[in-house]
Amino acid sequence: MQRCSRCSYCKWIPYENQQNMDFIKGCPSAARYNFHAYAASGKWNMSYSFLQGRIDYSDAFQDAVYRCQMCGNCDVSCKVVQDIEPLEHMQTLRMKFVEDGQILPEHMLFIDNLKKEDNMMLAKKADRGKWAEGIRVKNLNKEKAKVAYRAGCRYAYDDELWPIVRGGLQILLDAGVDVGIWGDEEVCCGGRSYQWGYTGEIMKYAEHTMEALKAAGVEILVNPCSDCYQAYKVLYDKIGRKLDVEVLHITEYLHRLIKDGTIEFTKEVPMTVTYHDPCHLGRLAEPWVHWKGKEVKVMGQMICHEPPKKYRRGANGVYDIPREILKSIPGLKLVEMHRIRESAWCCGAGGGVKEAYPEFATWTAAERLKEARSVGAGAMATACGWCKRNFLDAMEEGADRIEIYDIIELIQKAM
Ligand code: SF4
Ligand code: SF4
């Protein structure tokens, strides 16, 4: 904690990724509230003071901790200059807050519902499978299938997004994939509540998922939702519950089908499209790295690790596959924004911000929409229901308008 030098690099994207002065900020929280406490560094400073007994819990401390999307942009930038891990620190801080009852009433509404109804949408468990009504597909509660397709809470309950989640499933069925769904029996992955600081739920859902996958003989778990994908691929491994099936995002699975010729594009999609990297498919999706060892102080100052620690720096997320799909669509021109890949600006919907501070969530999305317009895109593609929802909400509130597509929708247009 003492190793944070207050260099403030965590507020910006790394120098080598800076392309345009209007789009070099990396931390939405620091950018919106313009006060050090809201950056990763401010949270280090407050935690250190707290541990030394110089400050106590307060509304201001709580505000800075929860007005953060847990997007990890700070983590990537900090590791360019200092190998400290702000995102892990903020995760631990949130867990401590929850443990000590320093919780937001807005979050509790969702957590209480999650405990009863197994979803993060304040909805009923009995309605979870409605998105798939009318589609003839295997029921994994009774039948076995090689591939499990999981809608995730956002897609399962947000009916405006149903065409995406239904479209993804239909493409798999039309391609002859042996696929099934759990319908009403599907449960939350636990990833979002974990990011908010609640750790019990993810353990419960990890155990449930392991059993459900085994019972249905599943070999590949396919997720149209980036949040779910990151929970299954990274968080479950982190908490010692690594799944013994292949975890894929839908773009990864569809990319395989495009490559082997199962999916063929027959139509032109004459659009200029930019791609928004969802945090949970990008830097946060980098595989978890387990490390066991000790910290050693060298020359009374430098902290080194024995054995050397391999850091997650965000470069190993899923960046190329969505872009390759977009570039392979006939007639589609891909233009890049200024903050991309591990330096992508967050959509604003993560970390419990959408639920507790909706105005901050849509402000963050509006900043991204400005960036998309600035590079001359007529449409923005993404690969996560939470991102699409937040961009749509921001436009409803007056942000720059642009067409928003999930990659699944663009694939369907081209088939
Ligand atoms: S968290 Fe990292 S990047 Fe931010 S001020 Fe501290 S050392 Fe610098
Ligand atoms: S996780 Fe994102 S919002 Fe939170 S401090 Fe880091 S960059 Fe800022």
Ligand 2 center–CA 253 separation, angstroms? 30
For the chain, how big is the Rg over CA atoms in Å? 21
Report whether pLDDT(183) > 90: yes
The mean per-residue pLDDT over the stretch 99-115 comes to 98
The mean per-residue pLDDT over the stretch 175-193 comes to 98
Confidence of residue 178 (pLDDT cuts 50, 70, 90): very high
Report whether pLDDT(291) > 90: yes
- Please count the other Cβ atoms lying within 10 Å of the Cβ belonging to residue 211: 10
| Beta carbon of 41 within 6 Å of any ligand 1 atom | yes
User: Would you state the pLDDT for residue 254?
Assistant: 98
Kindly state the DSSP code that residue 25 receives in the 8-state scheme: B
| Beta carbon of 13 within 6 Å of any ligand 2 atom | no
| Beta carbon of 74 within 6 Å of any ligand 2 atom | yes
Q: Which residues of 378-389 are buried (b: 16+ CB within 10 A; e: fewer)?
A: ebbbbbbbbbbb
CA angle 236, 138, 249 (to 5 degrees): 35
Two tokens at 347? Answer: 């959509």
The answer to whether the beta carbons of residues 381 and 322 sit under 8 Å apart is yes
Ligand 1 center–CA 323 separation, angstroms? 31
> Which atom from ligand 2 is nearest to the alpha carbon of 87?
1
Give the model confidence (pLDDT) of 191-240 as tens digits.
999 999 999 999 999 999 999 999 999 999 999 999 999 999 999 999 99
221: left (phi over 0), alpha (psi -120 to 50) or beta: beta
> Which atom from ligand 1 is nearest to the alpha carbon of 82?
7
Spatial separation of the C-alpha atoms in residues 231 and 238, rounded to whole Å: 9
Give the model confidence (pLDDT) of 313-325 as tens digits.
999 999 999 999 9
Q: Tell me whether the omega of the peptide bond preceding residue 307 falls within 30 degrees of 0, making it cis.
A: yes
Spatial separation of the C-alpha atoms in residues 308 and 291, rounded to whole Å: 9
Confidence of residue 3 (pLDDT cuts 50, 70, 90): confident
Spatial separation of the C-alpha atoms in residues 205 and 44, rounded to whole Å: 31
The answer to whether the beta carbons of residues 229 and 280 sit under 8 Å apart is yes
Report whether pLDDT(84) > 90: no
Report whether pLDDT(304) > 90: no
Q: How far apart are the first and last CA of the chain?
A: 52
Spatial separation of the C-alpha atoms in residues 202 and 181, rounded to whole Å: 20
Dihedral pair phi/psi, residue 108, rounded to 5°: -60, -35
Give the model confidence (pLDDT) of 342-398 as tens digits.
999 999 999 999 999 999 999 999 999 999 999 999 999 999 999 999 999 999 999
| Beta carbon of 71 within 6 Å of any ligand 2 atom | yes
Dihedral pair phi/psi, residue 248, rounded to 5°: -130, 150
Report whether pLDDT(299) > 90: no
**pTM greater than the 0.95 cutoff:** yes
Give the model confidence (pLDDT) of 237-267 as tens digits.
999 999 999 999 999 999 999 999 999 999 9
Report whether pLDDT(16) > 90: yes
User: Would you state the pLDDT for residue 82?
Assistant: 84
Query: Could you give the C-alpha distances from 67 to 27, 46, 60, 349, 397, in angstroms and in order?
Result: 11, 15, 11, 11, 20
User: Would you state the pLDDT for residue 397?
Assistant: 98
Spatial separation of the C-alpha atoms in residues 84 and 82, rounded to whole Å: 6
The answer to whether the beta carbons of residues 309 and 293 sit under 8 Å apart is yes
Continuous segment of H or E residues that includes residue 274: strand 272-275
Confidence of residue 2 (pLDDT cuts 50, 70, 90): confident
Ligand 1 center–CA 173 separation, angstroms? 48
Q: How far is CA 102 from the centre of its chain?
A: 24
Strand partners, 381: 275, 405
- With the C-alpha atoms ordered 136, 258, 251, 256, is the resulting torsion angle positive or negative? positive
Report whether pLDDT(303) > 90: no
Output the average pLDDT for the chain. 96
User: Would you state the pLDDT for residue 196?
Assistant: 98
Report whether pLDDT(1) > 80: no
- Please count the other Cβ atoms lying within 10 Å of the Cβ belonging to residue 126: 9
Confidence of residue 45 (pLDDT cuts 50, 70, 90): very high
> Which atom from ligand 2 is nearest to the alpha carbon of 38?
5
User: Would you state the pLDDT for residue 95?
Assistant: 97
Shortest CA distance to 86 belongs to which of 38, 19, 17, 18?
38
Q: Strand order of the sheet with strand 147-149?
A: 138-139, 179-181, 147-149, 220-223, 246-249
Query: Could you give the C-alpha distances from 272 to 9, 323, 330, 413, in angstroms and in order?
Result: 33, 13, 12, 14
User: Would you state the pLDDT for residue 295?
Assistant: 87
Shortest CA distance to 80 belongs to which of 163, 168, 8, 2?
8
| Beta carbon of 5 within 6 Å of any ligand 1 atom | yes
Confidence of residue 83 (pLDDT cuts 50, 70, 90): confident
| Beta carbon of 68 within 6 Å of any ligand 2 atom | yes
> Which atom from ligand 2 is nearest to the alpha carbon of 72?
1
User: Would you state the pLDDT for residue 298?
Assistant: 87
